[in-house]
Amino acid sequence: MQVELYSHGAAQEVTGSKHFIKVQGRQIMIDCGAFQGKRKEADEKNRNWSFNASEVHAAILTHAHFDHSGLLPLLIKNGYEGNVYSTPASRDLSSLIMMDSAHIQAKDIEFLKKKAKKRGEVFEKQPLYTEDDVARTLDHFITVSYHRPFWVEEGVKATFYDAGHILGSASILLEINRNGQQMRIGFSGDLGRKNLPIIRDPEVLPDVDYLIMESTYGHRLHDPIESAMDKLAEVINRTAERGGKIIIPAFAVERTQELIYFIHLLHDQKKIPEIPVYVDSPMAVNATAIFRVHQECYDQETREAFLQHHKNPFGFNEVRYITNVEESKKLNGLTEPAIIISSSGMCEAGRILHHLANNIENPRNTIMIVGFMAEHTLGRRIKEEQPEVKIFGEYYKLKAEVVTMNAFSAHADYSEIMEYVEQLNFKKLKRIFLVHGEPDAQANLKKLLEAKNYSVTIVRYGENYTLQV
């Protein structure tokens, strides 16, 4: 039996997940995500692929985040004709994310064409895909619940396990049985953490021969999730006392809902003042509606804290969900303390840019970083507290307080990854392949795993690895 592993994205980098298992010449693709980073580099990587989409035989989606699902419409557009398997929640969230991306691309191209026209030039580049392409992509989805095995190829069975990362996120068990030989391969997907709000804790996969493991935080330890509420309350109270606003760039999916959940609890416990909370992201508003639908993904704590009391975890008196542009613009005139949660999470697009431009130079304000910021993004530059940052082509002095909340990360840190791996059968596990991590994170995690006598390989872009039975 011939089995190969290779990757055309998120190999020694964090975004753009595109991993492949080839069984007897048949390609199974795990995720088809967009690369995020420097705009020119991102556009180049997202447009030009080093594999043929029409030669892929099956596609499986671990979760809905843009860097895992964002190029599925391009996969279909480029000739893929098979199914896209996902959990029901991932299908709904990825639909929202892909449609939002198509809308943003159309607006960006329109803007660039206008600029080119003013210069007397012709701008010929087209969006990667349109809303019609997304609609066609959704026709390819087959949704499967956790723990329900399904066939993706002859002799290849897959099962989803809860990865505990975002709503509907999954780790994948591939069971290959061909020519009388058997092999089990595990894909962690993006691995979550224990005790995150709303969703269940990550499930450990059954024992596997090979594990393809994410390594985003392979060199960092997070603050305990239990400390998140205390620190959040401190920041809100401190900023409110000096009359400032808390600006939170947050991914519309999962992080925004977690923040609302925590702020709701703090409000109920009277640990923070009655301060208005504005969720300024149409996508976050729609994502929150999807969260309400998929209660099958909730953990027991959420059920006990809210659902048993018939309360909405994502809505209370101080929360205002902003959908239209005029309401968003009015937030610029706020003079009283407030919390503004807006996307995108890495500050590369969306309404958050306007809120940063209007608030970054006021020392009374706080910018709260609550998630991973990829290299070369505005979010990373703010997190690093660079004295000046460029927004909309203009430089702004960073005078607002910057607070990084590591406890909110939805990615396992290296201690949590080690704990996860050590629950697998060491004697059966032949090798761990590291993907989805920057080089320093992967080097540290590799060192830690090898110290425990695991065989570890850092996956390189486009390189083939033969998996022995």
Name the DSSP class of 347: S
Its pTM stands at: 0.89
Q: What digits encode the pLDDT tens for the residues 28-37?
A: 999 999 998 7
At 433 the pLDDT is 98
At 199 the pLDDT is 93
At 310 the pLDDT is 65
**Mean pLDDT of the region 248-265:** 88
- Top-ranked range on mean pLDDT: pick from 37-46, 104-113, 393-402: 393-402
**Mean pLDDT of the region 208-228:** 92
At 375 the pLDDT is 78
Q: What digits encode the pLDDT tens for the residues 158-195?
A: 999 999 999 999 999 999 999 899 999 999 999 999 98
Report how far residue 2's alpha carbon sits from residue 23's, in angstroms, rounded to the nearest whole number.
6
The H or E element containing residue 4 is strand 3-7
Report how far residue 248's alpha carbon sits from residue 368's, in angstroms, rounded to the nearest whole number.
5
Task: Compute, in degrees rounded to 10, the torsion defined by CA atoms 313, 314, 315, 320.
Answer: 160
Domains of the chain: 3-220+410-467 (3.60.15.10), 225-408 (3.40.50.10890)
Cβ contacts of residue 387 below 8 Å, gap of 6+? 397, 398
**Helix, coil or strand: residue 177:** strand
Q: Is the peptide bond before 344 cis (omega within 30 degrees of 0)?
A: yes
At 313 the pLDDT is 79
**Mean pLDDT of the region 15-40:** 94
Give the long-range contacts of residues 377-383, CB within 8 A, separation 24 or more: 377/36, 377/37, 377/346, 377/347, 377/348, 378/346, 378/347, 378/348, 378/353, 379/249, 379/345, 379/346, 379/347, 379/348, 380/346, 382/347, 382/356
**Mean pLDDT of the region 21-32:** 97
Dihedral sign from CA coordinates of 385, 390, 391, 396? positive
At 345 the pLDDT is 75
At 410 the pLDDT is 86
Q: What digits encode the pLDDT tens for the residues 447-460?
A: 999 999 999 999 99
pLDDT at 264 over 70: yes
**Mean pLDDT of the region 87-91:** 98
